[in-house]
């Protein structure tokens, strides 16, 4: 098998969604354009990918404010990207469907996918480097230290005695571990074949948890546990301001 060559991992930033959990702030703009401390939220995701060594990125968005991303980011050069492309998701079809829009951009390369409302204290470059060394499969980023109440609103991995993930449970009533799946995922190019086999969930969307569980079923799922702070700034108004407070005091994407 051929190992990935360094530098070929492409990036996909998902910045769609209606942002209803942040109303009324999002009635006039996309949530990923809201400020986190002194910059638009989307800037932190781009910075995170650049610091992880990823230079080619596609940003997937939707809604009536999609053009604002082009006005803000342009070709991405000012933010350190070699190439920035855009895709438009014309309906709320889920994270996996949004990733599917990047298939032609990704091609035969491995890809790192990041939800643009995820903010991290430290770079996840080590995850990308370990993923490059994988021969195939997926690698996701977990976070520890979330309380039981919060875990019930997240994707939580169940692990066997060796520490391998045996399944990921979305919004479990009884969380099977103390870890949560963040919105940072690495996949080999077969991810698009996986997406093509998915059936919509009860809410009519293609779920990223189903993608991850497909890799788990193939015994092709690895993971890293993120050090330091992780926050989902789009989760709620309270979470949005908590992320703001943390970044103002401590910064983000530190090496």
The yes-or-no verdict on residue 145 having pLDDT over 60 is yes
Examine residue 5 and state whether it is found in any structural domain, yes or no: no
Predicted local distance difference test score (pLDDT) of residue 62: 93
How far, in Å, CA of 213 to CA of 71, rounded? 37
Query: CB–CB of 30/61 below 8 Å?
Result: yes
Q: What is the mean pLDDT of the chain?
A: 95
Domain membership flag for residue 238: yes
Confirm whether 239 is domain-assigned: yes
Q: For the residues 54-83, what does the mean pLDDT come to?
A: 96
Per-residue confidence (pLDDT) for residue 2, from 0 to 100: 43
- What is the structure's pLDDT at 19? 79
Question: Residue 90 belongs to a domain with what CATH number?
Answer: 3.90.550.10
Q: Is the peptide bond before 24 cis (omega within 30 degrees of 0)?
A: yes
pTM to 2 decimal places = 0.95
Structural domain total, the chain: 1
pLDDT higher than threshold 70 for residue 7? no
Let me know if residue 96 belongs to a domain: yes
Query: Is the pLDDT assigned to residue 3 strictly greater than 90?
Result: no
Average pLDDT, stretch 23-48? 95
- 125-130 long-range contacts, CB within 8 A, separation 24+: 125/51, 125/52, 125/53, 125/255, 126/224, 127/52, 127/184, 127/186, 127/224, 128/9, 128/52, 128/53, 128/54, 128/186, 129/53, 130/222, 130/224
What's the mean pLDDT in 44-65? 96
- In a domain? residue 219: yes
How confident is the model over 36-40, as a mean pLDDT? 97
- The model's pLDDT over 189-223, given as tens digits with 9 standing for 90+, comes to 999 999 999 999 988 999 999 999 999 999 999 99
The pLDDT value recorded for residue 18 is 73
What is the β-pairing status of strands 111-115 and 118-120? unpaired
Q: Is 207 within a domain?
A: yes
Determine if residue 113 is left, alpha or beta; phi over 0 gives left, psi from -120 to 50 gives alpha, anything else beta. Answer: beta
pLDDT tens readout for residues 149-186: 999 999 999 999 999 999 999 999 999 999 999 999 99
d(CA 58, CA 230): 23
Q: Check residues 93 and 33 and name the one with the higher pLDDT.
A: 33
| Residue 22 domain boundaries | 10-248
Exposed, middle or buried by CB within 10 Å (0-12, 13-18, 19+), for 196?
exposed
């Amino acid at each position: 098998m051929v190992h990935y060559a360094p530098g070929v991992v492409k990036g996909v930033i998902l910045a769609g969604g209606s942002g209803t959990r942040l109303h009324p702030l999002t009635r006039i703009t996309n949530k990923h354009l809201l400020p986190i401390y002194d910059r638009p939220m989307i800037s932190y995701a781009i910075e995170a990918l650049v610091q992880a060594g990823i230079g080619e990125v596609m940003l997937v968005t939707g809604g009536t404010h999609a053009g604002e991303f082009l006005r803000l980011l342009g070709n991405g050069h000012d933010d350190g990207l070699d190439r920035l492309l855009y895709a438009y998701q014309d309906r709320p079809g889920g994270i996996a469907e949004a990733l599917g829009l990047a298939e032609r951009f990704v091609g035969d390369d491995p890809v790192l996918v990041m939800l643009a409302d995820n903010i991290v204290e430290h770079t996840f470059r080590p995850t990308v480097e370990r993923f490059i060394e994988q021969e195939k499969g997926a690698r996701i980023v977990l976070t520890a230290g979330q309380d039981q109440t919060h875990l019930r609103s997240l994707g939580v991995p169940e692990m066997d005695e060796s520490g391998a993930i045996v399944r990921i449970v979305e919004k479990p009533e009884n969380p099977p571990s103390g870890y949560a799946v963040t919105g940072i995922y690495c996949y080999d190019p077969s991810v698009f074949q996986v997406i093509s086999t998915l059936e919509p969930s009860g809410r009519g969307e293609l779920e990223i948890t189903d993608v991850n569980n497909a890799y788990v079923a193939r015994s092709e799922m690895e993971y890293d546990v993120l050090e330091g702070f992780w926050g989902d700034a789009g989760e709620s108004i309270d979470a949005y301001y908590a992320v703001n407070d943390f970044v103002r005091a401590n910064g983000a994407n530190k090496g």
